[in-house]
Structure 1
Amino acid sequence: MYQKIMVPVDDSKASLRALHEAASLAKLCGATLHAVHVVDLAQFSWGGTGYLQSEEVRKAIEATGQKVLQRTREFLVQENVEAETAILESAGDKVADLLVNHAKDNQVDLLIMGTHGFSGLMHMLMGSVAEGVLRQADIPVMLLRVPHDD
């Protein structure tokens, strides 16, 4: 069945739901769980790229991502799930593109992710990473909706 399952993780309820589902499925299949955390560096550029060059900002961003992945690893050890983790950096790239390309490069055969369930104006303003992944992925994608993610 599935040998490598990828799940993007952050601090959201949607991500946590996806992580739990991915861990359960990985145990059933004997699959490796490949957890990734995306850091969007463009959100820290404030109108220019000069600020992104600050080593302190880069270290803080990296440390935050490492904390998310550390909590993920701890959970997966408790669940007895074989795991790999990675931080993906985006400097203005579409996050969906980054996830799909990383899945291809790492021979992932299932991608599980949470979605916030935005619709209407919020969807227009925020876009949808999940929708972008669905449009591009050539592997199965499981979306788990959490409508009121705080």
Structure 2
Amino acid sequence: MATNYKNIAVAIDFSEQSKKAFEQAIEVANNNKGNLYLVNVVDTKSFGSVSAYDLEYAGKLKEENLQKINKLKNIALEAGVAKVEVKVEEGSPTEILTQLPDVNLLICGATGVSEIEKMMIGSVAEGIVRRAKNDVLIVR
């Protein structure tokens, strides 16, 4: 049975794997005439402690990532995707990505930006597969 995906989210951490996931998401969105949501999560759970410095750093990182993700939005629009929205959040990537409302397909790269994750399936990708209530596409 073929599924028609109308609301597609893609996890963006700006790694090579997430760039491949982004390219795949454009194709899926265009094939399904669907909406595309570009989602970046500043992983504050990886910060050592919650201090004023950490919060200030997270805010700056969120601002930088919003600028980068808006460039990807323009690329997706130029590639023919009708509706593209961006979201940059702070918190746990797995929790935020698996709780996106109205998404029927979540696309992410197999590994993320850390060296340890490059040796195995990424911990975020694994968490998404385990917790997602919608279909998941892991891109290599």
- 1:31 maps to 34
Preserved contact between residue 6 and residue 108 of structure 1 (Cα < 8 Å): yes
Q: Decide which of 131, 135, 138 is 1:140's aligned counterpart.
A: 135
Q: Per-residue deviation at 1:49? A: 2.2
AA in 2 matched with 1:51:
Y
Contact 2:110/2:122 (<8 A) preserved? no
Deviation (angstroms), 1:62: 2.3
> How many residues are paired up?
132
Q: Which stretches in structure 1 are left out of the alignment for 5+ residues?
A: 146-150
Alignment partner of 1:2 out of 2, 5, 21: 5
Indicate how the Cα distance of structure 1 residues 125 and 73 shifts in structure 2: closer, same or farther if over 3 A, else same. closer
Q: Which residue number corresponds to residue 90 of structure 2?
A: 89
What's the % identity of the aligned pairs? 27
| Residue number among 51, 54, 63 corresponding to 1:52 in the alignment | 54
Aligned to 1:69: 69
TM-score by length of 1: 0.77
Whole-Å separation in 2 of the counterparts to 1:114 and 1:127 = 8
Q: CA deviation at 1:48?
A: 4.3
Query: What secondary structure is seen at the aligned counterpart in 2 of 1:132?
Result: helix
Cα-to-partner distance string for 1:46-85 (whole Å, 9 max, x where unaligned): 444232344xx35422221112211211211210212111
- Closer, same or farther: CA 51–76 of 1 in aligned 2, 3 Å: same
Residues 94-120 of structure 1 deviation map (CA, whole Å, 9 limit, x = unaligned) = x21221012xxx200000111128xxx
Q: 2:111 aligns with which of 98, 116, 129?
A: 116
Matched residue, 2:126 = 131
Q: Do 1:9 and 1:35's aligned partners in 2 also have CA atoms closer than 8 Å?
A: yes
TM-score, L = length of structure 2 = 0.82
- The runs of 5 or more residues in structure 2 that have no matched partner are none
Q: Which residue of 2 aligns with 1:100?
A: 98
CA distance in 1, matches of 2:39, 2:137: 16
Check the 8 A contact 1:37/1:68 in 2, yes or no. no
